[in-house]
Amino acid sequence: MGWTTALYLAATHFLYKGMMWLSVAGASLRTGTRTMYLMGGLIKRMPLSFVSFLVGIIALSGVPPLTGFGGKWLLYHSLIAKGWYFEAAASFLASGIAFLYLYRMIHSIFLGQPKDEHRTVKEAPFWLIVPQLLLLGAVIVFSVFPRLILDPIMALVGARYPAAGFAFEGQTLVSSLGYWNGLLTIIVVVVVFVLCLVWMVANLRKPRLVKQFNIVFAAERPFRPETTHFAFDFFAPYRRALGFLVRGRSERAWTAVAGLATSVAGAIRRLYSGNGQTYALHVVLYVGILYLFLGVR
Amino acid sequence: MSDMKFTRALADPDHALKPAGRPGPLGKPLVLANDGLPEEEKAWFCDAYPTASGPYKGILENFLNWARSKSLWILGFGTGCGAIELRPLMTSRFDMYRFGIQPRPTPRQSSVFVIGGYASVKTLKRIVRSYEQMMGPKFVVALGSCTINGGMYWDSYNTINAIEHYIPVDVYIAGCMPRPEALLAGFKELQRKIRRGECEGAVKYAENFEWYKANQKKVIHDWNMPDYNY
Amino acid sequence: MEPSIPLRIAYAFVSLAVITVYGLLLIGSMARISAKVQGRVGQPVWQPFIDIIKSSGKRNSISHGIMFWLGPVFRLAGGVGTYMFVPAVLGSVVFQNFSMSGDLLLVMYFIFFGQLGMALGASEGGHPYSAIGVSRGLAQMTAFEVPFALSIISIAVQYGTLDITKIVMAQQGGWQHWTLFTNPLAVVAAMIAFLGMSMHNPFSVVIAPQEIPIGPPTEYQSNLLGMLQTNRAVFNGAKLVLYMNLFFGGATNVPVMVVKTFLIYFINIFVGQAFPRFRVDQSIRFFLGVPTLIGIAAVVFIAF
């Protein structure tokens, strides 16, 4: 069961993380900065990037009906069946916190207050958008038909571990603890969503589209977008509550990782000495090692 | 008498609203000039001309008016002395909740604006901004004699004498300050007026927008907001 | 299953109508009970209906963009969807909803759907207070999910299944079989988490009017506000029905469901009237303290 979960999670994680990275890359390219609080309100100028990022968030936090939930379902069933209860609780906390930090990203970059200098940014380049849309389509297809991705995985795993815990009955995925019908879930969710949307549109009376500073600012007017966009110290309550666990430690840890990466890269760099004879030696050594590995025939 | 009032201030050219662009099909301009704002800030604010839709007809409007009168949400903005008379209404002795009245913190969600007494020029700017941010149909209740004719601040340099020249008022509650029982009587009168269909302040504001705006700009000199605060 | 698809959909609408009306009356009657506790008369029980009619009858509205409109749609879809995935009354075809779509995990994760949409809609409003409200609400939510998850795991191990219908059936046959009496630690942890979920005092800082102007719904008005108010009723109803099914023996007919959910919600009000508010960091530390320990004890007690 664990293998099925791991493979499924790896496959779907690739899909939506790839989408999100591409989307953020597009935003960063167009605005010319990597600092999140300098961006803001890009949803109106880059709607496609926003949509792919949004679907990425929904999938990553494991919200039904998208593919992330399938992964979480498999994970919990595997953990509980194996008896690892505290890991299951920890992973529940992890998926909640995942949504929390992704919300900070999407708010700082795409929602909130647009800045003056980003008023004319264009949508991300065509060749960044196309892969995002492809991955988006893949995520949606796999959400509607989870069997498309689960059948191959389960066949692969079943070949090595015949006593697999999951089985399919029609479209419903069944394990010893419960069941999940991916197709019916997404149908119900889509129907409910469309009905609510129809109700809202039918009741909408003379909506006026207003600009960014037409907000209730306690009877004042906001003065600059930079001071009105909430992006700094986003999780102050968490920092106050649990910050003592990571303060200093996480910074030292990441500095150590960065230092290690720099020194390893520096060591590897010395292979490129610029000397033609060293390169010739590299080629000879490579052929020699290959010869040794392949054996004498 | 009321027509005379609405034409008087337009003769003042310095404070007349300057519309921008050509007039639309109703003869009113489609956009506002927003000339209180520097040029680089105009992109941040909506500049559409305000419109207000009128009531439906017949039994639907009667039903909606009944619902509106039974669910009056007041804006929690204490503009003057009247605020202190509003607080006892929330307590157990006078209990306005049994009339469906609740205080709400934002103008977006409230339908009644209570002007609690004198309005200094500084407060008037915020009153105008909060009133324009409310969603129609909206009602104004003015407490105290300062709102009617200036009250004890009738000759002050910093307060205004008649609030109805700046925003449309539905019910006045006289007194200095009126007791909570008088406030409850005033709210019941407002409910009766709403059910009779007489409280169309939002429509009156939109139709006489130039007059109201000219009056407001005559007294409020630090106008760094758009002409209509959505 | 026996009923055909159109009949299922019709039954789902009936069930939804019942829970909406019940939820709105529940909010109204709880407000009235709180008022009586404070010694005053209070608003009439049907006041939430009038509020929704008034909000939907506003003559104009403001929009900040498409995501702003979609926020309440997501939220209401989340509330209705959560209800659709929970079987409300055991053995009743009308109230079975669409619970064959998934088990308990589906319901628990679908609760996030509404939060997500509301968070995005509130951010699109551009108001800094909406964003602060959302970050506080989400921070609190991640904190109370820990004791809730532990209690769910404890129940899953105890009954050997995550299927809600089976859990309810295992609790039939007299009140001694309720989870309340067979696994009280899990129920205690889950009820404390429920206080956090319903955002009553002491965890009401997210939508408290005196803290930040109402938090995430700061910019919402007219019929969008009406949708949010309706969602309060439906979502509350869905969570109460879920709790009733998991911990208090489920219901075999509608009056029993009404009584049980009323009493569960009453616990909330009972605690809420007596407490002031926690700050968000205090509530995070609270939830990760004693309730988590109770949840861990519940899991240990069942597993070993």
Within-domain flag for A8: yes
The arithmetic mean of pLDDT across residues A233-256, rounded, is 83
Residues of chain B with pLDDT below 70 are 1-29
Residue A168 in this model has a pLDDT that exceeds 80: no
Q: Does A44 sit within 8 Å of C103, measured CB to CB?
A: no
Q: Does A184 sit within 8 Å of C101, measured CB to CB?
A: yes
Within-domain flag for A218: no
Q: Give the pLDDT confidence of C162-215 residue by residue, as tens digits.
A: 888 888 888 887 777 888 888 888 899 999 999 888 877 788 877 766 555 567
Q: Does A225 sit within 8 Å of B46, measured CB to CB?
A: no
CB C107, CB C254: distance < 8 Å: no
Both A252 and A117 in one domain: the answer is no
Q: What is the CATH number of domain B59-199?
A: 3.40.50.12280
Average per-residue pLDDT for chain C: 86
Q: Does B43 sit within 8 Å of A211, measured CB to CB?
A: yes
| Helix, coil or strand: residue C215 | coil
Cis peptide before C202 (omega within 30 of 0): yes
In Å, how far is C81's CA from the nearest CA of chain A? 6
Q: How far apart are CA C145 and CA C135, in angstroms?
A: 15
C-alpha distances (whole Å) from A289 to each of A257, A267, A268, A297, C253 are 32, 21, 19, 15, 77
Residue C12 in this model has a pLDDT that exceeds 50: yes
Q: Which residues of C touch A196 (CB under 8 A)?
A: 73, 76-77, 80, 227
The residues on C that touch B, with CB distances below 8 Å, are 31, 35, 38-44, 47, 50-51, 53-54, 57-62, 209-210, 213-214, 217-222, 225
Residue C73 in this model has a pLDDT that exceeds 70: yes
Confidence of residue A145 (pLDDT cuts 50, 70, 90): confident
In Å, how far is C64's CA from the nearest CA of chain B? 11
What pLDDT, on a 0 to 100 scale, did the predictor assign at position B195?
94
CB C271, CB C195: distance < 8 Å: yes
What does DSSP assign to residue C64? -
Those residues with Cβ within 8 angstroms of residue A231's Cβ, 6 or more apart along the chain or in another chain: A36, A37, A40, A104, A107, A108, A112
The arithmetic mean of pLDDT across residues A243-269, rounded, is 87
Cis peptide before C128 (omega within 30 of 0): no
What pLDDT, on a 0 to 100 scale, did the predictor assign at position C77?
92
Those residues with Cβ within 8 angstroms of residue B152's Cβ, 6 or more apart along the chain or in another chain: B145, B146, B176
Query: φ and ψ at A165, to 5 degrees?
Result: -85, -15
Taking one residue from A and the other from B, the number of pairs with CB-CB distance under 8 angstroms is 39
The arithmetic mean of pLDDT across residues A127-134, rounded, is 88
Q: Give the pLDDT confidence of C210-264 residue by residue, as tens digits.
A: 555 567 788 888 888 888 888 989 998 999 999 998 888 888 888 888 999 999 9
What pLDDT, on a 0 to 100 scale, did the predictor assign at position A296?
60
CB of B48 within 8 Å of a chain A CB? The answer is: yes
Q: Do β-strands A179-181 and A172-174 pair in parallel, antiparallel, or remain unpaired?
A: antiparallel
In Å, how far is B1's CA from the nearest CA of chain A? 33
Q: Does C225 sit within 8 Å of B97, measured CB to CB?
A: no
Q: Concatenated DSSP letters for B30-54?
A: EEE--TTS-GGGGGGS--BPP----
What pLDDT, on a 0 to 100 scale, did the predictor assign at position B182?
93
Q: Do β-strands C61-63 and B171-173 pair in parallel, antiparallel, or remain unpaired?
A: unpaired
Domain around A151: 2-203
What pLDDT, on a 0 to 100 scale, did the predictor assign at position B113?
94
Q: Concatenated DSSP letters for chain B?
A: -HHHHHHHGGG-GGGS--EEEEE-TTSSEEEE--TTS-GGGGGGS--BPP-------THHHHHHHHHHHH--EEE----STHHHHHHHHHSTTT-GGGGT-EEESSTTT--EEEEES--BHHHHHHHHHHHHHSPSS-EEEEESTHHHH-GGGTT-SSB-S-GGGTS--SEEE-SSSPPHHHHHHHHHHHHHHHHHT---HHHHHHHTHHHHHHHHHHH-----S-SS--
Q: Give the pLDDT confidence of A17-60 residue by residue, as tens digits.
A: 888 888 888 888 888 888 888 888 888 888 888 989 988 888 88
Give chain B's end-to-end CA distance (angstroms, integer). 31
Q: Which residues of A touch C149 (CB under 8 A)?
A: 88-89, 92-93
Average per-residue pLDDT for chain A: 84
Q: What residue in C sits closest to A203 (Cα-Cα)?
A: C223
Residue A297 in this model has a pLDDT that exceeds 60: no
Within-domain flag for A217: no
Within-domain flag for A243: no
Q: Which residues of A touch C59 (CB under 8 A)?
A: 205-206
Both A17 and A110 in one domain: the answer is yes
Of the candidates C77, C126, C136, which has its C-beta nearest A193's C-beta?
C77
What pLDDT, on a 0 to 100 scale, did the predictor assign at position B1?
40
Q: How far apart are CA B84 and CA C20, in angstroms?
A: 38
Q: Which residues of C touch B91 (CB under 8 A)?
A: 40
Structure tokens at A140: 């949606």
Q: How far apart are CA C286 and CA C294, in angstroms?
A: 12
Taking one residue from A and the other from C, the number of pairs with CB-CB distance under 8 angstroms is 237
Q: Break chain B into its structural domains and give their ranges.
A: 2-54+210-219, 59-199
In Å, how far is B127's CA from the nearest CA of chain A? 8
Q: Which residues of B touch C57 (CB under 8 A)?
A: 64, 67-68
Q: Does A211 sit within 8 Å of B44, measured CB to CB?
A: yes
CB of B109 within 8 Å of a chain A CB? The answer is: no
> Looking at the 3D structure of chain A, how many domains does it have?
2
Q: Do β-strands B102-104 and B112-116 pair in parallel, antiparallel, or remain unpaired?
A: unpaired
Cis peptide before A39 (omega within 30 of 0): no
Q: Concatenated DSSP letters for C188-207?
A: HHHHHHHHHHTT-TTSGGGS
Give chain A's end-to-end CA distance (angstroms, integer). 43
Q: Give the pLDDT confidence of A192-219 residue by residue, as tens digits.
A: 999 999 998 888 877 888 888 888 888 7
B contact residues 163-222, partner A, Cβ 8 Å cutoff: none
Share of chain C above pLDDT 90, in %: 15
A contact residues 86-145, partner C, Cβ 8 Å cutoff: 86, 88-89, 92-93, 95-97, 99-100, 103-104, 106-107, 111-113
**Strand partners of residue A173:** A168, A180
**Strand partners of residue C132:** none
Within-domain flag for A75: yes
3-state secondary structure C75-122: HHHHHHHHHHCCCCCCCCCHHHCCHHHECHHHHHHHHHHHHHHHHHHH
In Å, how far is C80's CA from the nearest CA of chain A? 7
Confidence of residue A164 (pLDDT cuts 50, 70, 90): low
Which subunits count as partners of chain A given 3+ CB pairs below 8 Å?
B, C
Q: Does B230 sit within 8 Å of A210, measured CB to CB?
A: yes
Q: How far apart are CA C36 and CA C269, in angstroms?
A: 12
